[in-house]
Amino acid sequence: MEIVDVLIVGKGPAGLSAAIYTSRAGLNTLILGCAPKVAGDYDIDNYFGFPETISGKELIELGQKQAQKFGAKIRCEKVLSIYQQEDGLFKVKTEKGEILAKAIILATGVSRIKPGIKNLSDYEGKGVSYCVSCDGFFYRNKKVMVLGEGIFAANQAIELKEYTPHVKICTQNKKITMTEEFKERLKKLDIPVIEKKIDYLEGKDFLERVVYSDGEKEEVDGLFVAMGEASSLDFAYTLGITRRGVFIEADAEQKTNVPGVFAAGDCVGRFLQISVAVGEGAIAARSAINYVKGLDRNS
């Protein structure tokens, strides 16, 4: 299994900035992430040091080259889950395999997709969950459904099979984006994929059923939301990181409440600007460097 010192989730300004510092410090650094939102073809004219307008795409390409210059590895690879082992290392599951990391820097921005269910919030903690590893145990042998269209949802459904045989996926009427490999795995595990939209939920004290937009109802004990790709908030749920709404709590050194996990950029919800993300990435890197070197000294 591949082992790295620092694994950075997200290839935006915060992630690339962090990688420049950790790789320059001699740490084996891996960035996992595809093109960030800022890499689009829109103009940036308020970033320090660029008197001429530069596109987001150009700025990210320059940052990527700089990180790679110091030895950082960058792969367009989707992260599905992050768990901390008993030995303190972080086991990162991706669409292509598994990686062990001594430290994690979350820099994925804010990408949680709203499912569009009218009364979803009424059942959060009462049948609606965002974390299989946190709550799957409570749904042993019960009827559960995963909401999502991609490999994140597929992976969550596969994990739920460890607790119950009654698992389905609802794409919320979105086009299925999961790979053929995951489709085949779902088929072998007898996990059906329903391409319908849930309009609202029903239940007296806890979730009892979903109501589709066509009026059809289906009995469900648990609904696990996994729309789009896994975000920093999803990883926060599984790692036990303190959250503030849709943002991750990080202190002035970009440390979360979980030792070895740091967060930077839009996912911490401060001033959502590229310059701030770059600065927070540098601070997160310094904290990660100190953490990893402390581990190495004590080993």
Nearest of 248, 263, 260, 271 to residue 293 by alpha carbon: 260
* Structural tokens at position 253: 């050194």
Most confident of 77-91, 131-145, 265-279, 281-295: 281-295
Rounded to whole angstroms, the Cα distance separating 287 from 291 reads: 6
Q: Does the structural domain 120-225 have CATH classification 3.40.80.10?
A: no
| 5 vs 115: which has the higher pLDDT | 5
Question: What's residue 111's pLDDT?
Answer: 60
Q: What is the DSSP string of 167-183?
A: EEEE-TTPPP---HHHH
Q: Give 296's pLDDT tier (boundaries 50, 70, 90).
A: confident
| pLDDT above 80 for 68 | yes
Question: What's residue 132's pLDDT?
Answer: 85
pLDDT tens digit string along 157-191?
A: 999 999 999 999 999 999 998 889 899 999 999 99
Question: What's residue 41's pLDDT?
Answer: 63
Across residues 48-63, what is the average pLDDT?
Answer: 89
Contact status, residue 95 vs residue 77, Cβ threshold 8 Å: yes
Residue 156: CB atoms within 10 Å = 28
CA neighbours closer than 13 Å in the CB half-sphere of residue 171: 15
Across residues 212-222, what is the average pLDDT?
Answer: 96
Average pLDDT, the chain: 91
Across residues 42-70, what is the average pLDDT?
Answer: 88
Q: Give 154's pLDDT tier (boundaries 50, 70, 90).
A: very high
Degrees (nearest 5) of the Cα angle 154, 155, 159? 120
Question: What's residue 298's pLDDT?
Answer: 74
Q: What is the pTM of this model?
A: 0.79
Q: Which sequence spans correspond to the domains of the chain?
A: 2-111+231-298, 120-225
Q: Does the structural domain 2-111+231-298 have CATH classification 3.50.50.60?
A: yes
pLDDT tens digit string along 24-54?
A: 999 999 999 887 767 666 678 888 888 888 8
Question: What's residue 139's pLDDT?
Answer: 95
Degrees (nearest 5) of the Cα angle 115, 121, 127? 90
| pLDDT above 70 for 113 | no
| 236 vs 15: which has the higher pLDDT | 15
pLDDT tens digit string along 76-108?
A: 998 989 999 999 999 999 988 999 999 999 998
| pLDDT above 60 for 112 | no
